[in-house]
Homo-oligomer: A and B are copies of this chain.
């Protein structure tokens, strides 16, 4: 088995807020991230698939196909969007790096599972070059 990874980037805005809390409590827990006007990041999405290289093509997965899947399922949905206000899965869940990684996994796992022998094994979201979350489907 071999793993193949591809990266893509998107820019989005978000804020951290819990409606059940007072403004002061939101400020205490989320700090500057609680600013309701939002702030933004250049995110990097890193997707890893695993499988055996096809003996004829040498491909675990067609990288052009993987790029298209990543763009259609994640990048086009999140890029230049306000995640809290415009992306369905963050109407309830706070769009932390952790929750974005889980949401991206959920968007990808069905499609990549249907893409042939390869299966999704890892999703990473970099919020900045210094901070990233990694999800392996709950394993």
Contacts and interface: CB of A to CB of B under 8 A. Distances in A.
B94 A58 contact: yes
A133 B39 contact: no
Chain copies in the assembled complex: 6
DSSP majority for the A interface? mixed
Nearest to A14: B40
B13 A98 contact: no
Contacts of A38: 13, 37-38, 40, 82
Contact of A80 (B33, B48, B96): B33
A81 to B, nearest CB: 6
Contact of A95 (B13, B58, B98, B99): B58
A111 to B, nearest CB: 19
A60 B12 contact: no
Given A128-B9, A135-B2, A138-B1, A81 B29 contact: no
A85 B79 CA distance: 20
A64 B99 contact: no
A74 interface: no
A5 interface: yes
Interface in A32-55: 32-33, 35, 37-42, 48, 53
Given A11-B128, A42-B128, 6 more contacts: A7-B129, A12-B40, A37-B82, A40-B42, A56-B94, A58-B99
